[in-house]
Amino acid sequence: MKDYLTVKGSYTSETVIKHSRFIATLSYVSGREEAASFVEKVSKKYSDATHNCYAYIADKEGREVKFSDNGEPSGTAGQPILEVLKKNELFEVCVVVTRYFGGIKLGASGLVGAYSSAVVDVLNKSTLIKRIVGDKVILTCDYSIAGRVESAVYQNGGSIDQKTYNSQVKFECSFPQNQTDDFKSLFADLTKGKGTLDIKEKIFIEKEIKR
C-alpha cells in the first residue's frame, strides 16, 4: 500500500475551440468495470456527439489503464487525455471528453492541445483527495485519563472514529502510519503501561487537497 491522489465525486466542464465544443466529464472510479460503465453512461448521454474519447487509470497501482480516440486521428485524443492524468499523478479516475465538431478542422497538434486543455479545465474544477496509508488502532484506558488520551490522539495527527464506554473507555482511531509509532510511546506514558493499544489493520485516510 502507498499514498496516492484521486478525485472526489464527478465533474463536468465545457470549452469551445474554433466552434467545436469539448465537454470533459471526470469521475472517481473504483476499478475497470466501474470505469467502463462510466464511459458507457457518458457516451449514451452524448450519443449524438461526433466523438466520445476517454482515458482511465482505474486502480490505485496504475495497472488498469485504457484510452480511446473514438474515431479521432490516432494519438490525438485518448493518449493526450491519459497523459494529463499521469502528469497529475492521479489514480482511480476516468475522463470522457465529448466533441461536437464545429466545422473547422484543428489538425493533429490542435486536437492534442484541445483534448489536453479540456481535461486540465475539468481537473481545475475538481476536488482532489490524497489517500494516505494509515493504521486502524484500538485504544482502551481508564476513565480517569480518557480526556487526556483523546486530546493526545488529535494532537498527534489521529482521528477518533468511535468511542465506547464500558468498564473502560474504548477508542477506535485512525493514524497516518508514520505517526503510529510515536503515539504508541506517548500512550504508554499517559496510561503508565496500563492501557492497551492494538493495531487492527492498514487503511487509507482521506485528506482533501486545497488548490
- Residue 28 CB burial class (10 angstroms; 0-12, 13-18, ≥19): buried
Rg, the chain, Cα only: 23
Cα–Cα distance for residue pair 74/157, rounded to 1 Å: 48
Cell 487537497 -> residue? 209
Cα–Cα distance for residue pair 142/129, rounded to 1 Å: 36
Q: Smallest Cα–Cα separation from 18: which of 123, 121, 119, 109?
A: 109
Q: What is the mean pLDDT of residues 101-124?
A: 96
**Range of 157's domain?**
133-209
Q: Smallest Cα–Cα separation from 6: which of 119, 122, 132, 93?
A: 93
Write the CATH number for 85. 3.30.230.30
Does the pLDDT value for residue 48 go beyond 70? yes
Give pTM, 2 decimals: 0.87
pLDDT at 57: 98
pLDDT at 148: 95
Q: What's the pLDDT band for 193 if we cut at 50, 70, 90?
A: confident
Residue 73 carries which DSSP code?
A: P
Does the pLDDT value for residue 79 go beyond 90? yes
Q: What is the mean pLDDT of residues 64-69?
A: 98
Does the pLDDT value for residue 89 go beyond 80? yes
Of 107, 126, 145, the last residue of a domain is: 126
pLDDT at 209: 86
Cα–Cα distance for residue pair 69/92, rounded to 1 Å: 20
SS3 state at 208: strand
How distant, in Å, are the alpha carbons of 14, 62, 64 from that of 89? Answer: 23, 10, 14
Q: Smallest Cα–Cα separation from 136: which of 161, 165, 164?
A: 161
Number of domains in the chain: 2
Residue 122 shares a structural domain with residue 137? no
Of all helices (H) and strands (E), which one includes residue 96?
A: strand 93-100
Of 71, 98, 126, the last residue of a domain is: 126
Residue 109 shares a structural domain with residue 194? no
pLDDT at 93: 98
Residue 109 shares a structural domain with residue 17? yes
Which residues contact residue 49 at a Cβ distance below 8 angstroms, ignoring those fewer than 6 apart? Answer: 23, 98, 99, 100
Q: What's the pLDDT band for 211 if we cut at 50, 70, 90?
A: low
Q: What's the pLDDT band for 180 if we cut at 50, 70, 90?
A: very high
Does the pLDDT value for residue 88 go beyond 70? yes
Write the CATH number for 174. 3.30.70.240
Which residues contact residue 117 at a Cβ distance below 8 angstroms, ignoring those fewer than 6 apart? Answer: 15, 17, 22
Residue 76 shares a structural domain with residue 148? no
